Structure 1
């Protein structure tokens, strides 16, 4: 059972990677100023909203990516130690703005998740 789940996660992660590559290709072909990764996210969002891509097709792969997401922030945090000017007043203001924007993003993401979860529960009860 564990091997089947692992294969499912790998396949779903690969599907997410293909959507990323599609976004990169679209951005390169049309010479967009928007990064291809963002275009890929917009393609994924459109697919999820139109239900062309059902959530179950990417759910476990996305959860696996989210488990490793904090590892991407460690190098940036360690790298800031090399620049003592970030510990000055300007650095404190910058850190405040980063923390504030992170909190706003977390609240917005949580609110959106709850909204979608409530809508999903409403459909299941009908």
Structure 2
């Protein structure tokens, strides 16, 4: 029952993000808006990690299954991958390295690792 409620909470955040996305000034995908919204809720303490942790761990354990549709979709672009595959791989590697470096730099800044106090019940 707890797991079902936690999954419902994650779905609710996703649905709010889907509703918000068309009204934003930047053309962002709704899944990114949902992750940012969830991060904001967790950072402000409005949502506690323990309220969603079990469902998040379940999704994380089975994350590889979410990439199967992407891999199947790439098969339709075989000629594009043969023609520009090395350039695409280079872009993916550089952008991944930049994201990891930025995350590491942000994570080492003083005061960012501290959690805000939990709201009183």
Q: TM-score range by the shorter chain?
A: 0.5 to 0.7
> Who is 1:60 aligned against?
54
Unpaired runs of 5+ in structure 1? Answer: 1-6
Report the equivalent of 2:10.
Answer: 16
TM-score (norm 2): 0.67
Q: Secondary structure at the residue paired with 1:53?
A: coil
Higher relative contact order (CA 8 A, sep 6+): 2
* RMSD after superposition: 3.3
Unaligned 5+ runs, structure 2: none
**Moved runs in structure 1, 4+ residues, more than 6 A?**
110-116
Cα deviation, residue 35, structure 1: 3.2
Instruction: Tell whether 2:16 aligns with 1:48.
Output: no
Question: CA 1:43–1:31 in structure 2 vs 1: closer, same or farther (change >3 Å)?
Answer: closer
Partners of 1:9 and 1:64 within 8 A in 2: no
Q: TM-score, normalised by structure 1?
A: 0.65
Quote the Cα distance in structure 2 between the aligned partners of 1:14 and 1:71.
20
Kindly indicate whether residue 92 of structure 2 is the aligned counterpart of residue 98 of structure 1.
yes
Q: 8 Å contact 1:9–1:60 — kept in the other structure? A: yes
The answer to whether structure 1 residue 87 and structure 2 residue 96 are counterparts is no
Q: For structure 1, which segment, 18-27 or 35-44, has the greater mean C-alpha deviation from structure 2 after superposition?
A: 35-44
Q: 2:65 aligns with which of 68, 71, 81?
A: 71
